[in-house]
Structure 1
Amino acid sequence: MFSFRRRPPIKLHLGVVRVVPRRDVWRHLEAGLRQGKELRPSLLAVLGESFGYADAAGVANPGNGDVCVDIAVESHSRGGFTDFALDFAALPLGWRPKICLCARLYDIQDGKQRMVARVVERMGWGEYLVSLANWRVLMGLADPASDERFAKILLLAGQRLKRKIEASISSA
């Protein structure tokens, strides 16, 4: 009637880390900037390594506790600043650098989905306003989020996603 057997421990494995193509309006405004449209593959590799999970392709005999984590960068923006000018007035438009990560967890053995988790990480307002004061950003030669700052935002989003995944797995 009641099952008092202990469930097998859950082992997380990393599946695919990919970028979903951008479909937002801001991609057109960032198109003239240095790296407005694409995420570098090296950043995705760093994101995958930051989770510290074993590779799912290396699991020869998956058991009941083997769970695969697929990570997708759903949206990303390096931020920017422009204005919308009419004949009599100008309206400033600014958007902060942002990354939205999504993780899909499923059993390796049967492919049954366990959960989907999402996190959004943005650059802070203070850091964003300081980055706008750079002359290269003001001239349109650079993004408000340099490669180092963007990698920092990406890793912060990855850490938040990992904590969210592990908290939900431990409570299940």
Structure 2
Amino acid sequence: MFDRIRKRPKPRVYLGTLTVLPRSDFKRHFEGGGFVSGQPLEAPLRLRLEEIFNLPLARECEHPGATDLAVDLVVVGFQTGTNLALWELGVPLLWRPKIELAARVYRLGDGETTYLTQVVTKQPWREYRARLLTVRSILGLRPLFDAEDMAALLSKACLQMLPRLIRAV
């Protein structure tokens, strides 16, 4: 009896959809509208997700087995952070870069959801304060945080989510 439980077939895992939702919050106006170096940030984040989760695509599976699973990943929200100061009011506005990543694991055969999870990752205060004191921040020549910084933060969010997904599978 226990041999049957222990030797249960491992499910094959496929990649469902990858989505980066466009920003609609008020903070995006202070950060350049979600653009980094003139380019929308959604595309680099989606490419980074594709690199991290390099799995076969669910839509290419012709004959799904009973145990086959697929994972959908969604960047629910993100902010690039800023050091905006409203000196007229005497109030500095500071917020750190943040990424919200959600995942859904479902059976490929019938589409029934088996697991949902969400991770929120922010840049640590120490790293944020260190960035505030750079020439880049003081002169304001470029954005405080660029696509590479956000891709690194997305990688941290994926590393936090991965153990949860492994347990779900």
Q: TM-score range by the shorter chain?
A: 0.7 to 0.9
Counterpart of 1:22 in structure 2 is 23
Inter-CA distance 152–160: structure 2 relative to 1 (3 Å threshold) = same
Counterpart CA distance in 2 for 1:26 and 1:60 is 44
Inter-CA distance 62–77: structure 2 relative to 1 (3 Å threshold) = same
One-letter amino acid of the structure 2 residue matched with residue 110 of structure 1: D
One-letter amino acid of the structure 1 residue matched with residue 76 of structure 2: E
Counterpart CA distance in 1 for 2:119 and 2:33 is 28
Kept in 1: contact 2:22–2:42 (CA 8 A)? no
Counterpart CA distance in 1 for 2:135 and 2:123 is 19
Kept in 2: contact 1:14–1:48 (CA 8 A)? no
Kept in 1: contact 2:12–2:67 (CA 8 A)? yes
Let me know the Cα RMSD of the aligned residues.
2.4
Q: Secondary structure at 1:54's aligned position in 2? A: coil
Counterpart of 2:60 in structure 1 is 58
Counterpart CA distance in 2 for 1:44 and 1:56 is 17
The range that moved more, 22-31 or 96-105, is 22-31
Normalized against structure 2, the TM-score is what?
A: 0.84
Kept in 1: contact 2:85–2:91 (CA 8 A)? yes
Listed as ranges, the gaps of 5+ residues in structure 1 are none
More strand by share: 1
Normalized against structure 1, the TM-score is what?
A: 0.83
Structure 1 residue 117: deviation in Å?
A: 0.9
Counterpart of 1:92 in structure 2 is 92
One-letter amino acid of the structure 2 residue matched with residue 10 of structure 1: P
Inter-CA distance 23–149: structure 2 relative to 1 (3 Å threshold) = same
Inter-CA distance 73–34: structure 2 relative to 1 (3 Å threshold) = closer
Inter-CA distance 134–90: structure 2 relative to 1 (3 Å threshold) = same
Inter-CA distance 85–51: structure 2 relative to 1 (3 Å threshold) = same
Listed as ranges, the gaps of 5+ residues in structure 2 are none
1:1-172 correspondence to structure 2 within 5 Å: 6=5, 7-31=8-32, 35=36, 38-86=40-88, 89-169=89-169
The alignment covers a number of residue pairs equal to: 165
The range that moved more, 26-35 or 147-156, is 26-35
